[in-house]
Amino acid sequence: MKPARTSSRAEQRRLGKAAAHVSSTLGELGILLFTLGGQLPHQEVAQRLGSQLESLGLAAAVDTAGPARVRSVMDGKFDDVDVLVVLGGSGPDGEDQLMDLVQWLLANGRTALAQNLVFAQWGEGRAKHQPVFNHVVLQPSYLGGEQQSGRRFPWAASADDSWALARAVLDYAVGLGAE
């Protein structure tokens, strides 16, 4: 898959610098994409995220799990995770499921993951109120890398959105390297 373009060369350089910083401090970045619903395209989102990070020169192991939490723990999915990305729906049910997962993580000694996760809301539109967690909204066009905008160059409308998840993961990972 050809890497998606970012909205500007400056943004591409910023992401590249963040990826280089993460590589130098953490080496390989361990990412778990945990889905809150079986109908969500978690495999495809994980593949796209991994491809974007690879195009920036970052060694990242992107694994998937969910929605069965206990099975995921028994399979060792939560071990060696630097960044937890939770994929949920954009409605109130998705936010309720997120809070349920956070409470479960706290109760099971995964405080660092519970406090510092990235919530990826899948679906059309924006949430009416934003969760307290670092989050991004992924439109269905995220998987195709472009948005039908009516513009001459469709990537121009979606460039920022198509890199929002990679940007959020890198921002969090840069903070991990500073700790």
Q: Where are the domains of the chain?
A: 28-178
Which of 10, 18, 45, 44 lies closest to 118 in space, CA to CA? 45
CA 43, 47, 53, 58: dihedral to nearest 10 degrees? 90
Does the pLDDT of residue 143 top 50, yes or no? yes
Enter the pTM of the model: 0.81
CA triple 164-143-83, angle to 5 deg: 45
Superfamily of domain 28-178, CATH level 4: Glycerate kinase; domain 1 (3.40.50.10350)
> How does pLDDT run across 59-96, given as a tens digit for each residue?
999 999 989 988 888 888 888 899 999 999 877 788 88
Main-chain dihedrals φ then ψ at residue 142, nearest 5 degrees: -55, -40
> How does pLDDT run across 11-56, given as a tens digit for each residue?
778 888 889 988 888 888 999 999 998 888 999 999 999 999 999 9
